[in-house]
């Protein structure tokens, strides 16, 4: 029916296989509880507020065929927000295009904490064909210590609903379709992916599966007529119902996505122009919201108390300082000079003569 696969237009889509198919992860015991690796948990806990500030920017790429034909557009935006009275990041990713002139697209909106924990996420995918349409919607949200997931798949006029929930205690190191984009920006900015980084994720059947990230190293890539050095990452997404899917992404030094491709697909997402200066200048306004960041505010208060204690200690060790300050203030209040600085210099000169 279609020459171009749906995932060609929105490359984070993982194809759903027929019910009962079980290619799966090699040697996986379905009764076994999967866990993230220690390296993955350590990476998440090591994220600093300053790193997150560098991740708040938009990305905009085009999706092209192997022959260079424009198939659609892809964008990702990250900004600071609040959700359930918690400071967090709001990520919005969107892909739009056409398959054989039939509209299709995917949208992901996620609220993510500063340590990459997903508070809530919406996923919507659609393709509209003549006489046939597909619509998938998935919503996940934390509620009473559980991650509650509801999925609705509509094919034509028929809708199928699925619901599942998992204890948050079993989802340490969870990476979703939304948080995946933020995680890769952080790794790209560090220019190093620790070995054995294995996270948890969900497949199309809402099963808990593993997803891994590894380095591809540096290479040269042409962007906007210039040859740039880019850093590569490979993400492998496993599945209970299908064989693993592999994505390869390359990033500029500032974390902007330069290219993204699913291994084996003739479709590539490319950055056509280097980020403009006005876009970079927008970073300067981000620190103004530091008061809403829990970690940054905590560090500010700790430093404030540390300085107050240090200053109080110095004053106790030098009681003559208080006498000097009191004497100078009394002098100013009595004389009421227009130029305080010149009065101070004059008083100092008089004291030296005496």
**Do both 258 and 315 map to the same domain?**
no
Q: Which has more confidence, 43 or 265?
A: 43
**E strand or H helix at 207:** none
pLDDT tens sequence across 257-293: 999 998 988 888 999 998 875 444 444 444 455 566 6
Query: 290 CB contacts (<8 Å, ≥6 apart)?
Result: 49, 296, 297, 300
Q: Check whether residue 111 and residue 161 sit in a common domain.
A: yes
| Residue 288 domain-assigned (yes or no) | no
Using the predicted structure, report yes or no on whether residue 70 has a pLDDT greater than 90: no
pLDDT of residue 300: 74
| Residue 345, domain member (yes or no) | no
pTM of the model: 0.69
Tokens encoding 139: 């919503």
If asked whether residues 241 and 320 sit together in one domain, one would say no
d(CA 76, CA 45) in angstroms, rounded, equals 24
Residue 28 inside a domain? The answer is no
Residue 175, pLDDT > 90, answer: yes
Pairing of strands 197-202, 158-167: unpaired
In this structure, the answer to whether residues 53 and 99 fall within a common structural domain is yes
Residue 162 falls inside a structural domain: yes
Instruction: Specify whether 126 is located in the same domain as 177.
Output: yes
pLDDT tens per residue, range 232-247: 999 999 888 788 899 9
Residue 62 is assigned to a structural domain of this protein? yes
Q: Are residues 221 and 327 in the same domain?
A: no
- 320 and 261 assigned to the same domain: no
Q: Which one is predicted more confidently, 34 or 348?
A: 34
Q: Are residues 193 and 153 in the same domain?
A: yes
Strands (E), the chain: 59-64, 70-83, 86-99, 102-112, 118-129, 132-143, 146-155, 158-167, 197-202, 208-223, 226-237, 245-251, 257-262, 268-270
Task: Give the residue among 165, 262, 196, 185 at the shortest CA–CA distance from 36.
Answer: 196
Q: Is residue 240 part of a domain?
A: yes
Query: Within this chain, do residues 43 and 79 fall inside the same structural domain, yes or no?
Result: yes
148 with 205, same domain: the answer is yes
- Based on the fold, state whether residues 165 and 83 are members of the same structural domain: yes
Give me the phi and psi of 185, to 5 degrees please: -60, -45
229 and 299 within one domain: no
The burial class, CB within 10 Å (0-12 / 13-18 / 19+), for 289 is middle
Domain that holds residue 72: 38-270
Q: Provide the number of structural domains found in the chain.
A: 2
Does position 182 have pLDDT exceeding 70, yes or no? yes
Last residue of a domain, one of 270, 304, 327: 270
Q: Is 74 in contact with 145 (CB distance < 8 Å)?
A: no
Mean pLDDT value of segment 182-211: 94
- Report if residue 350 sits inside a domain: no
Residue 52 lies in a domain: yes
């Amino acid at each position: 029916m279609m020459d171009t696969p749906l995932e060609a237009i929105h490359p984070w889509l993982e194809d759903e296989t027929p019910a009962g198919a079980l290619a799966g992860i090699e040697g996986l015991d379905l009764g076994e509880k999967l866990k993230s690796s220690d390296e993955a948990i350590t990476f998440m806990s090591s994220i600093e507020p300053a790193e997150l500030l560098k991740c708040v920017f938009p990305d905009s790429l085009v999706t092209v065929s192997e022959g260079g034909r424009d198939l659609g557009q892809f964008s990702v935006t990250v900004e600071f927000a609040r959700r359930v009275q918690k400071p967090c990041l709001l990520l919005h990713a969107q892909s739009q295009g056409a398959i054989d002139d039939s509209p299709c697209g995917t949208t992901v909106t996620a609220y993510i904490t500063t340590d990459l924990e997903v508070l809530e996420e919406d996923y919507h995918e659609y393709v509209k064909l003549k006489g046939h349409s597909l619509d998938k919607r998935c919503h996940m949200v934390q509620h009473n210590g559980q991650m509650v997931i509801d999925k609705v798949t509509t094919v034509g006029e028929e809708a199928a609903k699925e619901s599942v929930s998992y204890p948050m205690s079993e989802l340490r190191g969870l990476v979703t379709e939304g948080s995946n984009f933020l995680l890769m920006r952080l790794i790209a900015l560090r220019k190093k992916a620790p070995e054995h980084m294995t996270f948890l994720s969900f497949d199309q059947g809402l099963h808990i599966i593993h997803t891994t990230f590894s380095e591809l190293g540096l290479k040269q890539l042409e962007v906007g007529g210039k040859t740039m050095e880019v850093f590569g990452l490979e993400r492998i997404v496993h599945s209970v119902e299908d064989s693993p899917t592999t994505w390869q992404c390359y990033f500029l030094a500032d974390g902007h996505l330069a290219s993204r491709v699913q291994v084996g697909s003739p479709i590539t997402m490319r950055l056509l122009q280097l980020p403009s200066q006005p876009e970079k200048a927008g970073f300067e306004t981000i620190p103004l919201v530091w008061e809403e960041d829990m970690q940054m505010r905590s560090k500010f208060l700790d430093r404030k108390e540390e300085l107050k204690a240090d200053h109080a200690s110095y004053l106790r060790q030098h009681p003559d300082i208080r006498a000097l300050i009191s004497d100078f203030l009394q002098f100013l209040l009595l004389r009421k000079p227009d130029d305080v600085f010149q009065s101070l210099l004059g008083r100092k000169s008089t004291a030296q003569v005496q």
